[in-house]
Structure 1
Amino acid sequence: MNPVELSSRIIDTGNPEPPHNRVLDELFEVEDGVAVVESFSHCWALKTQEGLVCVDASGSGSGENVVEALRGWSKDPINFIVYTHGHLDHVGGSGAFIEDADRRSQKKPVVIAHEAVLDRFNRYRLTGDWNTFINKRQFGGITPRAEVGTTRIGIGGIGPKFLPESVADPEITYEDSYLLEVGGKTLELNHGRGETDDHTWVWDEEKKTVFAGDFVIWTFPNAGNPQKVQRYALEWAKVLREMITRGAEQVYPAHGLPIVGRERVEVVLGDMAEALEYLTDATLELMNNGARLDTIIHEVCVPDHLSDKPWLAPLYDEPEFVVRNIYRLYGGWWDGDPSRLKPAPDSLLAKEIISLMGSIEKLIERAEELAEKGELRLACHLVELAVQSEPEHEGAQRTRASIYWQRRSAERSLMSKGIFAAAARESEATYGEVTPRTKMRDAVRKSME
């Protein structure tokens, strides 16, 4: 189905028609001279009198398919690639674009990005194994030590390095804004912080069009990812407000469906901004009253009138994680509990609690009782204590696996599902029964349905 027609119907009716984040590796021309290859992430292409400008290059696992789809639409040289930010699902496919230029004896594309993208790439090189580990865990996998540095990341790198050597570094970088003039078209690149600190959104004044990158993703804003560096909820909202103020009539995101029509733009971007502003205001109010993080994460939630919007569904990130990130940004890493400022090792605390209960079996039994009642947060605490006390206790590990599979089934967001599934598989691995892991791209598709 045409993505514009689908998007317009969803926004006009307020009824979801999943999947809203389609990973098809197929090209749709959404207007004359503007096309999208829906992938993970999307690649947007604009025709100019001198050739193509592409916004994002998709991931290394999809780059070749994206280029093939583009070449079915236009054989013109690809003069520029704009990275909206440095996440691998946006830059990983750049090598395929360069190879395509070489095959056609065309000049390779010039890559433009915010200056902080280079800092991100350097950080990825410093923490390659760590990023491999956390990205596998995010999508429900575990990384045995023998696999570190050698495993394909479905949305990122292929090969021995998390940041593939084929990824093109930006040749042109900017600090606040950059004016790209090419082939009779003028595009304004603007920096903003939201999901990342290196984010670019592209403004076409003539057509009142925003190429939004990950500022719009058709799920709840990814401002809380529990395994990633700091994210910026309030600044994200300010960028969305600026897009509205500019008079945007089309918003073309890197994930999800195009938004066409000024009223639809105002509805979707306005709802996203309001949700982020509310979470920030409510969190800061409690912080200013001296509340601990524990109180804040259990009291602050999205207002009811926003919670059922199809474009705010917590299918990838979720509001509770965003609240944690807001607290971290303004309040630091300590959660306010003095016992956790300089805590004892978890294993020693676990042994003390088990000694009070009389046996590890009693702790396991209580965890199972809580899980049967649906009190999964408490059940997870207790079963973690059991495993921390005796990591080789098969009964504890089996109960842990069972509870975390149950916890995974009860969650909506991919991040929660992935981490809980990884925990279950971690326990299964101790007694030799590992549940097969869904391929990451398939997991992404399923999570967005």
Structure 2
Amino acid sequence: MTYRIVLTGLCAAALAACSNSDPDLDHLLSSQASTTTQQANRAVSEQLPFQDLTDFEQANKGLIARPDALEVISERGELLWRMADYAFLDGEAADTVNPSLWRQAQLNAIHGLFEVSPGIYQLRGFDISNMTLIEGEHGWIVVDPLTAKESAKVAIDFAMQHLPQKPISAIIFTHSHIDHFGGVLGLNDYLADDIPIVAPHGFLEEATSENIIAGTAMSRRATYMYGRGLERNASGHVGSGLGKGAAFGTFGVLEPNTLISETGSQHTIDGVPFVFQYTPESEAPAEMTFYLPEHKAFCGAELVSRTMHNLYTLRGTKVRDARKWSAYINEAKELFADANIYFGSHHWPIWGQQQIQTFLTQQRDTYKYIHDQTVRHLNNGLVSDEIAETIQLPESLANTFSSRGYYGSLKHNSRAVYQAYMGWYDGNPAHLDPLPASQTASRYVALAGGADTLLQQTQTAFDQGDYRWAAELLNHLVFAEPDNQTARNLLADSYEQLGFQAESGPWRDVYLSAAKELRDGKANNGIDIRQMKDVLMQSPVSNFFDSMSVRLKAEEVDDDQAAMAIHISDKNEQYFLWIENSVLHHRPLRANDEFAARLTISHELFVDMLLGNAGLKDTLFSDALSVDGSLLELVGFFSLFEQPDANFNIVTP
């Protein structure tokens, strides 16, 4: 039986799918691991306990059924994701993949419907995250309904073929990242009336706001972090470390009616007792875990995972507090010490009280070690790059697969801790006001004796397997001479070998995406935030004025720019917008405010305008829009706001 998920859009910046593109066969033939890379990967094989198959046993335990095939295609028929694309992961690790990452990718490819214990079931591999079903007295309690409506519907339909067909009696969102709520509308066929929708305090605000202000830049960088343009093969994308690719299509959200704001909160949901732990500002700004006393089962959400997670994500987010995160894990370890089952929002469960306690201890200490040792080194005068080069996990954690850097990494997480305390400045005055790369590049090339000499030096470094130094030098040359294809190709080769050695899925995807763009040029494969419209419709209107303020073309503003009023007709909300000192301000409209024009507009059309789905000039005669006052001033006002370039350069000036 083949399950097709038809997509109607792309994903949010929070996550990005890896899409198939037409393979360049000549390039695939040349994508080989160098001798240095092969030696580095063999060293990993000798370091870690690959003979321990416990994770594979746990990942397969309780399998009820798996679909014969699982495909994700776009509305236009474009293939975006399918489990069969990862068939190459069968067998021993390829020379072009870090064997530790290969192992994690194999584990994340184990998919289907699983029984965690009687009354608790998981759908794994239908998306990047897990959907959990808990059997209540009258129906199913759904935890984290995947990323997209289409993937969630296929998952729940598949589950109902193999489990008792009952209505959905409650929904639980463990945290505010889209891969844990975006598919909720795919459950509509099974929803009972007036069900509890449970989420951590602050969920809706965080779920709808993350991508509004910096979403364009985060989306572009997410295409690198998740390898959106890479082929799925041993020379390309093998997985994110957190899961496989994600099935992104139509996104939605439902407003919670039960909010958890205190640890220890007890609720009975469809006859099932829950004990909640409130863990804000850990892996997500709004997050919670829960415990099922009758099952002795702990849902760790994404507070803990079968990988080192990100204190900072390469796509760009605010730095997460490692010390607070570690403390929450310790709290869960003590509160739910009698748990015999652990399951999470990603990866596979753990059974056994002692095994769970050991896992929680290792997760707790991984984040606290990174925090404590980074701060120790910075207090001794080391700067971010020096700490990242120095810090190593102790053997007890380094040889633990769940503490390995498959998604986060030790190096960039230590930099995150440094940034949290010390910021971007490392104390060296030479770095206080440095020249930008576009200005220094040509000077470095000249200092090296010209492009030809620099190329010779970098070729030597590359031949010696010194890929980081080769990339450092070649980056200057490419920024000085962006059309120098010889330099671009050698830089791409250097990035490729670094990608082949990377244990972190995102690091691998970043390196290989950069290599692909250097060789082939940019592809228009960005993630369009406009496809989040149904989610953003739940965001407070004021959030969109904040997004307008960071799109103001300040250099085009006149000192006497007129103020405007906006009336959101179907929400009966009125706002006053004015520009002062080339800064946009907003607040609720007051009776004595003076403005050149008032725009009355429906909420949906207003969101469409700000997302670029509709233009002001194109909608002036719509029944959902009217203008009182100077139409010319209104059009002039809105012309001051730009639509940013969603496909900006990264590896070239």
- TM-score normalised to the size of structure 1? 0.83
1:130 aligns with 2:217: yes
Provide the secondary structure at the position in 2 that maps to 1:213. coil
User: Residue 372 of structure 1: which of 463, 480, 490 is its match?
Assistant: 463
SS of the equivalent of 2:497 reads helix
2:272 matches 1:185:
yes
Equivalent-residue separation in structure 1 for 2:356 and 2:260 (angstroms): 27
Q: Does 1:261 align with 2:349?
A: no
CA displacement, residues 154-192 of structure 1 (integer Å, 9 cap, x when unaligned) = 526426xxxx3x233434333334433223222122221
Structure 1 match to 2:617? none
Structure 2 equivalent of residue 155 of structure 1 = 246
Q: Distance in 2 between matches of 1:5 and 1:429?
A: 38
1:6 maps to 57
Identify the residue that residue 86 of structure 1 maps to in structure 2: 176
Give distance in 1, aligned partners of 2:111 and 2:155. Answer: 6
Shift of 1:335: 3.4
Paired residues in the alignment total: 410
CA distance in 1, matches of 2:440, 2:307: 38
The equivalent residue for 1:238 is 327
Aligned residue runs from structure 1 range 150-229, under 5 A: 155=246, 157-158=248-249, 164=251, 166-177=252-263, 178-192=265-279, 193-229=281-317
- TM alignment of 1:16-35, pairs within 5 A: 21-23=107-109, 26-35=112-121
Question: Which AA in structure 2 matches 1:199?
Answer: E
Which of 402, 406, 410 is the aligned partner of 1:311? 402
The whole-number CA distance in structure 1 between the counterparts of 2:178 and 2:167 is 23
Structure 1 residues 318-337: aligned runs within 5 Å: 318-337=409-428
How far apart are 1:424 and its partner, in Å?
Answer: 0.6
Aligned residue type for 2:300: A
Structure with more of its chain in helix, by fraction: 1
The secondary structure found in structure 1 opposite 2:300 is: strand
Instruction: Assess if the C-alpha contact under 8 Å between 1:88 and 1:157 holds in 2.
Output: no
Note the C-alpha offset of 1:99: 4.4
Instruction: Report the Cα distance in structure 2 between the residues aligned to 1:357 and 1:20, rounded to whole angstroms.
Output: 45
Letter paired with 1:362: T
Q: Partner amino acid for 2:209?
A: N
What CA distance in whole angstroms lies between the structure 2 residues aligned with 1:114 and 1:309?
Answer: 31
Aligned mates of 2:485, 2:450 — CA distance in 1: 15
8 Å contact 2:291–2:297 — kept in the other structure? yes
Give the aligned partner of residue 87 of structure 2.
none
State the match for 2:152 in structure 1. 63
Which one has the largest radius of gyration?
A: 2
Partners of 2:493 and 2:288 in 1: how far apart?
43
Q: Aligned-pair distance for 1:119?
A: 2.9
- Aligned with 2:123 (options 23, 33, 37): 37
Structure 2 residue 430 is the aligned partner of structure 1 residue 344 = no
Q: Contact 1:364 / 1:396 at 8 angstroms: preserved in 2? A: yes
Q: Which amino acid aligns with 2:512?
A: A
CA contact (8 A) 1:88 1:155 kept: no
SS of equivalent to 2:108: coil
Aligned AA for 1:136? T
Distance 1:404 1:5, change over 3 A: closer
Over the matched positions of the two proteins, sequence identity in percent amounts to 21
Could you tell me which residue of structure 2 aligns to residue 403 of structure 1?
494
1:167 maps to a residue whose letter is: V
Alignment partner, residue 441 of structure 1: none
2:322–2:371 CA contact under 8 A, matched in 1: yes
2:226 match: 139
Q: Is this contact kept in 2: 1:294–1:335, CA < 8 A? A: no
For 1:168, the aligned partner's letter is L
* Aligned mates of 1:4, 1:260 — CA distance in 2: 11
Shift of 1:354: 1.1
TM-score by length of 2: 0.58
Q: Find the aligned partners of 1:242 and 1:23 in 2 and give their Cα distance.
A: 32
Once the two structures are TM-superposed, the CA of residue 137 in structure 1 deviates from its matched residue by 1.1
Q: Is the 8 A contact 1:59 1:156 kept in 2?
A: yes
How far 1:20 moved relative to its partner? Answer: 6.8
Return 353-362 or 416-425, whichever deviates more: 353-362
Q: 2: CA distance between counterparts of 1:41 and 1:224?
A: 19
Residue by residue over 1:304-336, the C-alpha shift from the partner in whole angstroms, topping out at 9 and shown as x without a partner, is 222121222322221111111111222223233
2: distance between equivalents of 1:346 and 1:17? 38
CA contact 2:139–2:166 (8 Å) conserved in 1: yes
Change (3 A) 1:206 1:331: farther
> 1:64–1:134: structure 2 CA closer, same or farther, 3 Å change rule?
farther
Change (3 A) 1:213 1:394: same
2:425, 2:432 within 8 Å by CA — same for their partners in 1?
Answer: yes
Q: Does 1:51 align with 2:139?
A: yes
Amino acid at match of 1:389: A
How many Å separate the matches in 2 of 1:281 and 1:255? 27
Structure 2 CA distance for partners of 1:128 and 1:291, relative to 1, 3 Å:
closer
In 1, the alpha carbon distance for the partners of 2:449 and 2:116 equals 67
Q: Distance in 2 between matches of 1:8 and 1:65?
A: 21
